[in-house]
Amino acid sequence: MVDPRKTPLYDMQVKMGGKIVNFEDWMMPVKFEGVIEEHKWTRQHAGIFDISHMTEFMVEGPDAVPLLKTLMTNSVGIGDFKAQYNHMCYPDGGVIDDLYIYREREDKVRIIANAQTLETDGKDFNWIKDHIGDFDATITDLSLDRARLAFQGPETMKLLNPITKADITQIKRFNWIYTEVTPSPTSPTSQETIPIFLSRTGYTGEDDFSPALGSFEISCDNKHAEALYQTFLDTGAKPIGLGARDSLRLECCYALYGHELNAGITTIEAGLGWVVKEKEGTKFIGQEVILKQKVEGAPRVSVGLNLLDKGILREGYKIFKDGEEIGYVTSGTFAPTLEKTVGLAIITPEHRAVGTELDVQIRKKMKKAVIVKTPFYTRGRNI
């Protein structure tokens, strides 16, 4: 058996008291002070997330964009230094992974995608590589050479801007830059500056398009990972574990691969039709099924649930309407900002209307839930 992997920040996180768990065969902190506390801190202040377990690739060559257009559901037709959320799908429309593409030039596009287990290691990389064919393009796996961090929360601009060379308040949402960070005096480096990739994107919902309230995702060379992490923490932002990362994304109804998305769920069934764009002159893999579902409707739909009875929704719980099984919960949690039990579910479309009451089987008991509008949380506006 191969041991689970560790990110370049593992030792620091252990020293800081992170409670380490195995997530997708990565030894990662699930929490530092506490999931709920970290969740609320991120909503009110700012938090630093180690997301180095995720994967990072560079697609280069004159055909980088044409290649990606055949694999990605979204337009891919973005300008330089823009980011775009995408799905890669199998021919039957099932999702291989959800990811971001970051175009640097027409012939250079970065990809940041989900972590893989030891068993699925190389899934996205090989899928892209195996479809290069006659395209004049190459793909390089940067995953293990680089560390990835997220700096999220309403105080991010205030804390991060003073230590970046660029004025990051000028970066619009879904844009990115290369810049440099001045390391803090306590950070373990002799470098005068740390070069970073900095993207105004995130998985917490803490961004409202205004210059003052932006959150970022960052990647840097492994050798600077500890110094960058320490520098970020020295701004006053707190380290946040995977537990709060999950509850923060769930309040915003962001899909998590392996739960809302998988090889057996299409982009349309997951309620992400906006990620699908027909592209002139190019078909993407899975297009036939996905476009048909987008027009005619999918056999299942994704909905948001609020549990009316006491309890917690968990993945896999069965959902019933008038005694008939109609679907299951894909993710659930106690939502700290809302102080409600919420969840996402995949059900048959006829019962999808907001306000529909359903039964969720929790162990031996049936509990009442109601379909609610999604997302559950939008910055400054709750359900």
Partner 1 sequence: MDNPTDLKYLATHEWVRIDTDVATVGVTDHAQDQLGEIVFAELPDVGDSFSQGDDMCNIESSKAVGEVHAPVSGEVIEVNETLEDEPEKINSEPYTGGYLLKIKMSNPNEVDSLLDAAAYQATLG
What contacts 1, CB < 8 A, 6 or more positions away? Answer: none
337: left (phi over 0), alpha (psi -120 to 50) or beta: alpha
Which residue reads 């999950």 in tokens? 246
In whole angstroms, what is the distance from residue 67 CA to residue 76 CA?
10
Q: Are 318 and 328 in contact (CB under 8 A)?
A: yes
Strand arrangement, sheet containing 19-23? 5-6, 26-31, 19-23
The reply on whether position 205 binds partner 1 by CB under 8 A is: no
Stretch that binds partner 1, among 62-70, 104-112, 180-188, 304-312 (CB under 8 A): 304-312
Is 364 or 381 the residue whose CB approaches partner 1 more closely? Answer: 364
The reply on whether position 36 binds partner 1 by CB under 8 A is: yes
Binding flags for partner 1, 71-110, as an x/- string (CB under 8 A): ----------------------------------------
The reply on whether position 363 binds partner 1 by CB under 8 A is: yes
Distance separating the N- and C-terminal Cα atoms of the chain:
46
Contacts (CB under 8 A) with partner 1, residues 134-163 = none
The reply on whether position 247 binds partner 1 by CB under 8 A is: yes
Six-digit token string for 161? 């801007």
Q: Amino acid identity of 250?
A: L
3-class secondary structure, 8: coil
In whole angstroms, what is the distance from residue 180 CA to residue 178 CA?
7
One residue of 40, 108, 279, 314 binding partner 1 per CB under 8 A: 314
CB of 140 to partner 1, least distance (A): 35
The reply on whether position 35 binds partner 1 by CB under 8 A is: yes
Stretch that binds partner 1, among 110-118, 223-231, 243-251, 345-353 (CB under 8 A): 243-251
In whole angstroms, what is the distance from residue 343 CA to residue 157 CA?
31
The reply on whether position 30 binds partner 1 by CB under 8 A is: yes
CB of 313 to partner 1, least distance (A): 10
Is 207 or 246 the residue whose CB approaches partner 1 more closely? Answer: 246
One residue of 14, 20, 34, 174 binding partner 1 per CB under 8 A: 34
CB of 321 to partner 1, least distance (A): 23
Task: Dump the DSSP string for 62-75.
Answer: TTHHHHHHTTBSS-
Stretch that binds partner 1, among 32-40, 209-217, 346-354, 370-378 (CB under 8 A): 32-40
Residues in the chain: 383
CB of 149 to partner 1, least distance (A): 22
The reply on whether position 31 binds partner 1 by CB under 8 A is: yes
Which residue reads 């006491």 in tokens? 310
Is 11 or 309 the residue whose CB approaches partner 1 more closely? Answer: 309
Contacts (CB under 8 A) with partner 1, residues 316-335 = 333-334
65: left (phi over 0), alpha (psi -120 to 50) or beta: alpha
| Interface residues toward partner 1, by CB under 8 A | 19, 30-31, 34-36, 243, 246-247, 310-312, 314, 333-334, 336, 341, 363
